[in-house]
Structure 1
C-alpha cells in the first residue's frame, strides 16, 4: 500500500512524523510520504497517486477537499481522518475495497487511538463479500451487486460459492473457517467454473470473484537451505495474514536457477518458480523497488526479489510486500492488476 499523510497544523505535522516512523517499519507499506498544508492543491494529486490518504485535520476540511474527487468504491483511495491530538482514527472513504477499515485499525493501534468504523457489516461483526475479495486478492466482476450481497450477509442469508473441483482452494477454506461466525456460506463444485474464479450467488443475484496472480520474489545467499527460505516465507505471509496456499508462483533471477534451496522449496510446495532473464531485469524500471548498490556491483541489477516478482506478476502489477530480509533470505510479494 502506498500512503500519503497530510497535515495542516504544526501539531498535526508532529503526529504525522511519529506515524510515518512507525509505518515505515511495516513491510506491507510500500511507500509512505508526508505532505503539509496547501490541501486544495495537493489533494487532487494524492487522490490518484496513492492507495491511501491519512488526513490529520478537521473533518470539515477533509470532506470539502475530497468531495469533488470521489468517484467510485472500486477506484477511490482509502481515506482516514485523524484529529490533531491523535484521539480518533476515522475510516472515511473506501472502507472495504480500498482497505480503509483495516488501515484504520492498524493506525489506531500504532498511535494508541480509538478506531471509528461505521460500515454496517463491520459494526455488526459480519464479513462483506468485498472484504473477502480484498483480503484474498480477488477482483469482483459486478461491483453493483456488492450492496445486495452484503445486505444478504447482514440478514443471515446463505451465500452460495461454486468452485472448480480441480483447483486448489485451501486458502479459501482456511479463510472461511477463520471467519465462520461472520458469514453463512455453502460451497459446491463444478468443472464449468474457471479454476481461478469463485462464482457467488444469493437469491438470484450473482458475482464472480476472479483471482489475481500472486507472486513471491525470493533472493538468497548462495547455498541457503530450503528450510531457511521457508521460514522467511512463512514470516512474510504471517505479516500479510495470508496462508501459503494462496501463492501462485515463485520468482527469482536467472543467476539463482541452480540454487538447490529454491528448487527444493518449489518442488516440496508444488509451486512453480520463474527465473527471470538478467537482461530483462536490467531494463526493468519501477519507482517502488529498493535499489542495492551491492547487488548492482555483483550482478548488474539493483535487486532480485522485488523486480522478479513484479515482472512475473505481469504488466501494471504492484508490490504488496516490500523487500524484507530474513537471515540471508529476501522476500517480496507482487500482485497482478
Structure 2
C-alpha cells in the first residue's frame, strides 16, 4: 500500500511525522509520503497516486477537498480522517474494497486512538462480500451486485458459494471459520466452475470472484535450509493474514534454480516455483523495487525477490509486501491486478 499523509496545522504535522515513523517499519506499506497545507493543490494528485490518504484535519476541509474527486467504490483510494489531537481515526471513503476500515483500525492502534467505522455490515457485525474479496485478494466481476448481496447478508439470508471440487480452497474455509464477522453461507461444488473462481449466488443474482495471482518472491543465501525459508515466508503471509494455500506461485532468480531449500519448499507446500531469467531481471524497471548494491556487485541485478515476484505476477501487478529480511532469507509478495 502506498500512503500519503496530509496535514494543515503545525500540531497535525507533528502527528503526521510520528505516524510516518510507525508506518515506515510496516512491510505492507511500500512508501509513506508527507504533505502539508495546500490541500487544493495536493488532493487531486494524492487521489490518483496513492492507495490510501490519511488526512489530519477537520472533516469539513477533507470533505470539501475530495468531493469533486470521488468516482467509484471500486477505484477511489482509501481515505481516513484524523483530528489534530489524534483522538479519532475515521474511515471516510472506500471502507471495504479500498481497505479504509481495516487501515483505520491499524492506524488507531498505532496512535492509541478510537477508530470510527460507519459501514452497515461492519457496525452490525456482518461480513460484507466485498470485504471477503478484499481480504482474500479476489476480483469481483460485477461490482454493481455488491449492494444486493450485502443487504441479504445484513438480513441474515443464506448466500450460496459454489467451488470447483478439484481446487484446494483451504484458505477460504479457514477465513470463514476464523473471521469475527458473521455471514450465512452454504458451500456447493461444481466442475463447471473454473478452478480460480468462486461463484456466489442469491435469488437469481450472481457474483464471480476470481483469484488475483499471488506470487511470493524469495531470495536467500546459498545453501539456506527449507525450514528457514518457510519460516520467513510464513511470517510474511501472517502479516498479510493469508494462508500458504492462497499463494499461486513461488519465484526467484534463475541463479537460485538449484537451491535445494526453495525446491523443497515448493514440494512441501505444493506450490509451483518458477525462476526468472537474469536478463529479464536486468531489464525490469519499477519505482517500487528497492535496490541492493551488494546483490548488484555479485549478480549484476539490483534485487531478486521483489522484481521476480512482480514479473511473475504479470503486467501491471503490484507489491503488497516489500522486501523483508529474515536471517538470510528475503521475501516479497506481489499480486496481479
TM-score category (smaller protein): over 0.9
Matched, 1:311 2:307: no
Matched, 1:242 2:245: no
- Aligned partner of 2:325 in structure 1 is 325
CA contact (8 A) 2:247 2:271 kept: yes
- Aligned partner of 1:85 in structure 2 is 85
- Aligned partner of 2:34 in structure 1 is 34
Residues 167-205 of structure 1: per-residue CA shift (max 9 Å, x gap): 111100111111376100111000000100011001211
Alignment partners' CA distance in 2, 1:180 and 1:62 = 31
- Aligned partner of 2:280 in structure 1 is 280
- Aligned partner of 1:73 in structure 2 is 73
RMSD across aligned C-alpha pairs, in angstroms? 0.7
- Aligned partner of 1:64 in structure 2 is 64
CA contact (8 A) 2:122 2:181 kept: no
Alignment partners' CA distance in 1, 2:222 and 2:145 = 50
| SS of structure 1 residue aligned to 2:68 | coil
CA 236–25 in structure 1, closer or farther in 2 if over 3 Å, else same: same
- Aligned partner of 1:261 in structure 2 is 261
Alignment partners' CA distance in 1, 2:31 and 2:208 = 31
Matched, 1:300 2:300: yes
User: TM-score scaled by structure 2?
Assistant: 0.99
- Aligned partner of 2:13 in structure 1 is 13
- Aligned partner of 1:145 in structure 2 is 145
- Aligned partner of 1:186 in structure 2 is 186
Q: Which runs of 5+ in 2 are unaligned?
A: none
Matched, 1:159 2:162: no
Alignment partners' CA distance in 2, 1:12 and 1:28 = 24
Residues 146-171 of structure 1: per-residue CA shift (max 9 Å, x gap): 01100101100000000111011110
Count of aligned positions:
337
Alignment partners' CA distance in 1, 2:128 and 2:137 = 14
CA 216–143 in structure 1, closer or farther in 2 if over 3 Å, else same: same
- Aligned partner of 1:220 in structure 2 is 220
| SS of structure 2 residue aligned to 1:175 | helix
1:269, distance to aligned residue in structure 2 (A)? 1.2
CA contact (8 A) 2:249 2:273 kept: yes
| SS of structure 1 residue aligned to 2:280 | helix
| SS of structure 2 residue aligned to 1:67 | helix
Alignment partners' CA distance in 1, 2:309 and 2:206 = 33
CA contact (8 A) 2:244 2:269 kept: no
| SS of structure 1 residue aligned to 2:69 | coil
CA contact (8 A) 2:78 2:95 kept: yes
- Aligned partner of 2:4 in structure 1 is 4
| SS of structure 2 residue aligned to 1:327 | coil
1:270, distance to aligned residue in structure 2 (A)? 1.0
| SS of structure 2 residue aligned to 1:96 | coil
- 1:108-147 to structure 2, matched below 5 A, reads 108-147=108-147
- Aligned partner of 1:43 in structure 2 is 43
Q: Which runs of 5+ in 1 are unaligned?
A: none
Residues 33-86 of structure 1: per-residue CA shift (max 9 Å, x gap): 111111101100000000000000010110010000000000000000000110
Alignment partners' CA distance in 1, 2:91 and 2:272 = 39
1:21, distance to aligned residue in structure 2 (A)? 0.3
